[in-house]
Structure 1
Amino acid sequence: MRPPPRSDDVDPATRTNLTNAMKGEALAHVTYRAYAKQADRENLPEVAALYRRTAHTELREHFTEQAKLIGLVGDNVANLRDSTGGETYEATTMYKNFAAQARADGDRQAARLFSEIADDEAAHRTRFLQATKAVTDPSSGTVVPTDVKANPVAIRAGGPQVSSSRTLDNLRTAMKGEAFAYAKYTLYGDKARETGQPRLARLFHRTAAVERTEHFAEEANLAGAVRDTPANLCATIKGETHEGRQMYPDYARQASAAGDTATAKVLDDTAKDELKHAKAFSGELSRLGKQCPTSS
């Protein structure tokens, strides 16, 4: 058996495609967990269980396999520096810009939320900087902070709560960012735990919980990301079918053409998984006696 490719052996275009795929897998993971909660509320345990199983696959198989191909997880210091950079961008640039645009568009609730999350991300950055000092200079007496507490927000089914298409687009962009941060921090926390850094593992895992159960959830409510279960199933089937028939096969062909044969095999296998997911969700929709609306 050939060893897996080193991350620096992957073609830049393949790396870009893998990163895009990982963002989609991360978003699917957190969204499917929200869809499972909605299925629970509608007393649909089989649908809820399918969503939870699939969410696990998206993070612990697809995202994790793709992360290994590009060397996403480094040593603890590299992971902290990556996290600090991401939080700095969100705190000082992305969320501030989104808040200003929401205010200009009259979406005051979204503007307040974006501003609040910017403050949270600044606090995360401060903790990551402190953790970096603790890890790189143990003699300093600095300890890795673990005082991060998630205050989970329930995601309600309903339509968008904003009036501007720009704000809605920004909410969706932010949701993808929070989902990706959640997935990364989960793996970074796992790495810290595996390398004998339990406090750092708690910092990463607790921060991940904030990104998913607070930030993503609050944005999802304003964006109307969750509907009733039949509508959620239709959105899921559409997404999984697109990934299985188009996105992953395209990425696999591009990887093969670039000589990234091991990566192409992973992408081909993922395409097959996504089509299996689409079939399973279609079965649940049929069992409910529902159909997805046809495109005109």
Structure 2
Amino acid sequence: MSSPAHTNVSPADASFEPPAAPAARPVIPLRHPGRWVATAAVLVVLAQVVHGLVTNPFYQWDRFAYWFWQPVVLDGLLITLHVTAVSAVLALVGGTALALARSSRNPVLRAVSWAYTWLFRSTPLIVLLLFLYNFSALYQTLSLGVPFGPAFVTFGVTALASETVIGILGLTLHESAYAAEIVRAGILSVDQGQHEAAAALGIPRHRRFRRIVLPQALRSIVPNYVNLLIGLVKSTSLVFYVSLLDLFGTVQSLGSTYPGDIVPLLLVATAWYVILTSAVSVVQHYVERRFARGAVRTPPPTPLQRLRGGFADLRARVAVRR
């Protein structure tokens, strides 16, 4: 019988031990000296700007506080809000009609829509408002009836077109051209396969647009149109040139009466325009967040969530340095 094999183990092998794991080293964050220098420079400039605004007596902040809540200024603000709201709704309706006409198979509708968009996007708003303001010099009366035949109803242009109507009409005509391109771009953003799949299922054209194309196009249309509203709020300042005393017109009139308060009055108008556009920007953020729910996995954070995240990152960085 053969004896069992024995393994020879040397004393050196018996005393072998695996190497010890290296000691954990602290993670040192990457330094960004250029970023800190730029931040410091920006903070210094901001501090100088704020110091100049607060200490410069030329701004007359006491007069600014006096005029900010005056009823005459608030009345002009209400006119601005009224003109903006009505023009925004009418411009959206007109822009949608123009976009649908541009997408139509009818060559006449396509040509008219293209010509309208081209003309009113090329015409400055102030020129359009002044033209409408002097429209009664070209046509004293307007009539409804048989084309090139007898008129059934006749009315005067001067009695019909008040300053408010002229302002709303001018803004609507001008903004409709831009709204038409926003709506058309939203429709074109829908994948062509959606159209082909709906057509293959035999869905009628009008129902295809209403139930399939439009809900997807709204993701692009609504945020961009809300952005257009910001420009519309500022564009209302031009209705002063058609004798409509909106916010800017009221400030201009008060500046003529109180020439020593021109600067604080202009600051009042600026502050109210900033408040209005900021409110529209907040609405735009939440509208974009709502319509992004079907397109992204995680909706964009709200301003409060961003602020909390910034504080959390700051606390984490401080903890790492300690």
TM-score w.r.t. the length of structure 1 is 0.28
Structure with the higher helix share, 1 or 2: 1
- Structure of higher CA gyration radius: 2
TM-score w.r.t. the length of structure 2 is 0.26
